[in-house]
Amino acid sequence: MYLRIDRLQIELPAPKDADPNAAAAVQELLGGRFGEMSTLMNYTYQSFNFRAHDKLKPYRDLIANIATEELGHIELVAATVNLLLTGTTQPGDPDAAPLSAGKDARNTWHFIATAQTALVGDSMGGFWHGGYVFNSGNLVLDLLHNFFLECGARLHKIRVYEMTKNLVAREMIGYLLVRGSVHAMAYGKAIETLTGVDMTKLLPIPNIPNSKFPEARKYEEAGIHRTLYRFSPEDYRDIAKIWRGPSPTGDGELQVVDGPPPGGPIPVLPEVPEEFAPGLTAEEIAELAKKLAGS
Ligand code: MN3
């Protein structure tokens, strides 16, 4: 089962301007084949379907624990899309076409279907689907897939970074580059314990260090690239049997931190009357507040 904390894994900066086409590009990192929905659901189902976890506990602990962190990653990328879309349109009467900016944005679904918020889909409007989940039941093969998935995800993050200078997008990408690199290393180390092959020598893929990205560098300077968070009050302690020893990055020891990062607040999304979202008048909201306070 899951507990939930009402925080993002990092604090996102306030957006300067609406950037709906950056939001469209960032969708790839949420619902594309190599997006956070894919890492989340691959590791989640691999943990659900894991065989002999009484004998192979550290491996299931690792996959299940990283899956839980990925839940927070879909939340962070969705928040980024929402902030990038904020302010794209202004209130107005329907006959003034207040949503006309949506007609010329790359993803019209953002304006028609979700009232300018995240879609469970990719940068081209395709929906995420369960066919992106690989779960063969063969532990080495599943771990090898996860290593590949993290490297593909890293490549796509870097390409989206290269597409936009938007502060919000780059802050999210900087953090997730660091976290994704931890996960690639963790799966590499897991494969090493099973086969003797040092997968981490292949990293980073693509061959550019995270320190090249200022938004990632500050997280590395804080040691977050050597840290695996244990996302459970009591469980998944055996991740420390895999995540230990000198960091493959050569700058210190790997560490397991009990509990989540401190994180940052969930941004409050403003009302968008021209989308009828949330669809209550100021008077109705004031009346509701009175009613709920009295109950
Ligand atoms: Mn992730």
| Separation of CA 171 and ligand 1 centre (Å) | 14
Q: With contact defined as beta carbons under 8 Å apart, do 225 and 183 qualify? A: no
| Separation of CA 195 and ligand 1 centre (Å) | 25
Dist. CA 14–CA 4, nearest whole Å:
24
Dist. CA 35–CA 154, nearest whole Å:
9
Rg (the chain; Cα; Å): 21
| Separation of CA 73 and ligand 1 centre (Å) | 5
Give, as residue ranges, everything with CB less than 5 Å from ion ligand 1: 39, 70, 73
Classified as helix, coil or strand, 287 is: helix
Residue type, 96: A
| Separation of CA 263 and ligand 1 centre (Å) | 15
Longest dimension (CA), the chain: 67
Q: Which two tokens stand for residue 122?
A: 């990719």
Cβ contacts of 231 within 8 Å, gap of 6 or more: 65, 68, 69, 72, 259, 260
| Separation of CA 66 and ligand 1 centre (Å) | 8
| Separation of CA 63 and ligand 1 centre (Å) | 12
Dihedral sign for Cα 106, 112, 114, 119, please: negative
- Residue 295 has a pLDDT of 61
| Separation of CA 290 and ligand 1 centre (Å) | 41
| Separation of CA 210 and ligand 1 centre (Å) | 15
| Separation of CA 282 and ligand 1 centre (Å) | 38
- Residue 32 has a pLDDT of 98
In CATH terms, the superfamily for domain 20-294 is: Ferritin, core subunit, four-helix bundle (1.20.1260.10)
Dist. CA 227–CA 215, nearest whole Å:
17
| Phi/psi of residue 8, nearest 5 degrees | -80, 160
| CA-based nearest residue to 39, from 135, 111, 115 | 135
| Separation of CA 289 and ligand 1 centre (Å) | 37
Q: With contact defined as beta carbons under 8 Å apart, do 269 and 117 qualify? A: yes
Q: Domains of the chain: which residue ranges? A: 20-294
Residue type, 186: A
Residue-by-residue pLDDT tens, the chain, 295 positions: 999 999 999 999 999 999 999 999 999 999 999 999 999 999 999 999 999 999 999 999 999 999 999 999 999 999 999 999 999 999 999 999 999 999 999 999 999 999 999 999 999 999 999 999 999 999 999 999 999 999 999 999 999 999 999 999 999 999 999 999 999 999 999 999 999 999 999 999 999 999 999 999 999 999 999 999 999 999 999 999 999 999 999 999 999 999 999 999 999 999 999 999 999 998 999 999 999 998 6
| Separation of CA 267 and ligand 1 centre (Å) | 20
